[in-house]
Structure 1
């Protein structure tokens, strides 16, 4: 069983989500969009190679928030990246 903290974060950028992007079982994607990196859960993060490519591209473009209005007033990219579960780093 996965830790609920791991279930509720984006596997690409580590942003906390209201609902588990990959469902309670960690296997059923919601196809929602991450407010931070803009990944569509279940599409661009469908496997480890795809999500690493997406993360690399997002970071190279400056880690810009997809929905800027959702960005916390106090935000640390380094701290957020630490939220990514080990198996998706």
Structure 2
């Protein structure tokens, strides 16, 4: 797994400050993604749960959980490209 994949939210692709699933990709930190609101280790535990959570997020408009963290030049399509390949 490359560094971007280690740092990306499995649901929305937002690059995090710390690896949501640790350096080995196996131990979640249970933080909340500022973009989609996913709790790492809970709502993104399996590929199936990731796909369900992503659909719910996109169906709700793909908005930001923490609006204060949303970049001015945010592009949802560019961010979605960061999703780790195993969770697309």
Is TM (by shorter chain) over 0.5? yes
Match of 1:53 in 2: 52
Match of 1:74 in 2: 73
Stretches of structure 2 that go unaligned for 5 or more consecutive residues are none
For normalisation by structure 1, the TM-score amounts to 0.97
Report how far residue 86 of structure 1 moved.
1.2
Q: Over aligned residue pairs, what C-alpha RMSD do you find?
A: 0.5
Which 4+ residue blocks in structure 1 deviate beyond 3 angstroms? none
SS in 1 for 2:9: coil
For normalisation by structure 2, the TM-score amounts to 0.98
Between 1 and 2, higher relative CO (CA 8 Å, sep ≥ 6) is seen in 2
Cα distance in 2 between the residues matched to 1:85 and 1:30: 17
